[in-house]
Amino acid sequence: MERKIVDGAVRNKEKSKEKFLAAVGEIVKTKGFSALKVNEIAAVAGLDKKLIYNYFGGTTQLIDEYIKSQDFWSNVKNEELNVDINDGGRGLSKAMLLSQFDYIFENKELQKILLWGLLEDRVSLKKLAVDREESGDALFKNISDPHFGEHSVRYRAIMALLVSGIYYLDIFASTNEITFCGLDLKSQEGRAAIEEALAFIIDKAYDSV
């Protein structure tokens, strides 16, 4: 009986934590970050606000955990991409960029987090940026840098342009009803054109740099 009681308590705690995280996301989407107050979060979650302190330590820690849960680079797993890294990172670069292009477009909450990171000096947002850089740097150092050798900085610059372009195009597509360079970024055809261009640039970099 004791084991079942303990297991039940653990499951309830995890479900409650998920509700709080979902509540933060709902508030971000509907009211913005300024509405992330303890009473508002608890009301949307339908739970006692005391549990926020019990489970997370406070509202700040809850918001920090939510931010990390939404980030692409914090959650992507190499095995999910299912690519061979013995080609110097060509396939991995394509897979990660294409996955990121879809992930950000579909995740409106992450779009708001990216914008929030540009507008507000928040410790968790800075830490997320640092963690993202460390993850990317590990991939560069271990996979693409050895392939490109003395030209590795040029390839990093190319990737910087592509990643930042993905951020902007996905946010643009979600907030505007007009085309970008004549492409409808919400349509299957428009997005396929961008995906083809991403793959083309990566191939050109590996063939020419």
CB 116 within 8 A of CB 122: yes
Domain boundary residue, one of 29, 44, 66: 66
Give the structural domain span for 46: 2-66
Same domain, residue pair 34 and 102: no
CA distance linking residue 83 with residue 65, whole number of Å = 29
Same domain, residue pair 55 and 80: no
Give the per-residue pLDDT at 76.
63
CA distance linking residue 144 with residue 1, whole number of Å = 54
Question: What tens digit of pLDDT does each residue of 21-57 get?
Answer: 999 999 988 888 888 899 999 999 999 999 999 999 9
Question: CB burial class (10 A; 0-12, 13-18, 19+) of residue 41?
Answer: buried
Number of domains, the chain: 2
Q: How many helices (H) and strands (E) does the chain have?
A: 12, 0
Same domain, residue pair 79 and 166: yes
- Which of the four pLDDT bands, split at 50, 70 and 90, describes residue 119? confident
